[in-house]
Amino acid sequence: MNVIAVIPAGGKGLRAGNVEKKGIATPKQYLKINNKELIAYTLETFQKNKLINKIIIAAEPNFFNLLVGIVNHYKFKKVKLIVEGGETRQHSVYNALLSSDANDNDLIVVHDAARALLPDAVLTKSIKVAKEKGNALVCIKAKDTLIKAHKFIDEYLNRDEVYYVQTPQIFKYKDLLKAMNKAFRENFIGTDESMLVQRIGKKINIVEGSVFNFKITTPEDIKLYERLVKNSNN
């Protein structure tokens, strides 16, 4: 059983505040934080993890050369393929799947490029759970008071039953491919892979994540990430 990481990096990252470079807006995953591209931090985690066999990146063609430079500079030897991203995350992951040469029972580990502080322990545990049970979804339990509202409060939700979904999300190749084929046949676009896999009747195993594994989305997130990286280097 091979374990193949798929890193969708095709997003434009508009909420994070793009930087114009040679007329092209630079997505957040390529921004340099402490002189290192954000995606390089993410790739480093997967490169170092002993359970990962191969890494595939899905990205916009405009950034292929930049990615190749990053991969070569940091010697990310597990990166075997860079494929063209699609118009949605779902399309990007699908393109990576079709190019993966995976076998039915190989594990596909999908992880957001912008979740650059994934603890190795969380990655390792989620892979082990997926090997044993067939899939794994990294989440953290809600701690805040949660409401459902439309301008005014409609109801309070039971936070004991609510999780914040993170990545990695890990599935057998055959299950994820089946789920994606079904979604495209039905013109369904999900927000993540777990939503698609649940639609083919699979029960999904939850693995506890980490508050540090947040998705860098806004300028405030970037500032927080900079602080965390500086503190970890001190």
Computed over every residue of the chain, the mean pLDDT equals 93
For residue range 47-81, list pLDDT tens digits in order.
999 999 999 999 999 999 999 999 999 999 999 99
- Identify which of 13, 41, 100, 17 has the alpha carbon closest to the alpha carbon of residue 225: 41
CB-based contact 4:107 (threshold 8 Å): yes
- Identify which of 182, 183, 57 has the alpha carbon closest to the alpha carbon of residue 109: 57
Domain boundaries, the chain: 3-233
Give, in order, the Cα–Cα distances in Å from 205 to each of 130, 145, 174: 8, 24, 17
Length of the chain: 234
Alpha-carbon span 81 to 110, nearest angstrom: 15
In this structure, what token pair is assigned to residue 152?
Answer: 């005014």
**Given this model, what pLDDT does residue 11 score?**
62
Give domain 3-233's CATH superfamily. Answer: Spore Coat Polysaccharide Biosynthesis Protein SpsA; Chain A (3.90.550.10)
For residue range 207-230, list pLDDT tens digits in order.
999 999 999 988 899 999 999 988
For residue range 19-45, list pLDDT tens digits in order.
444 445 678 899 999 899 999 999 999
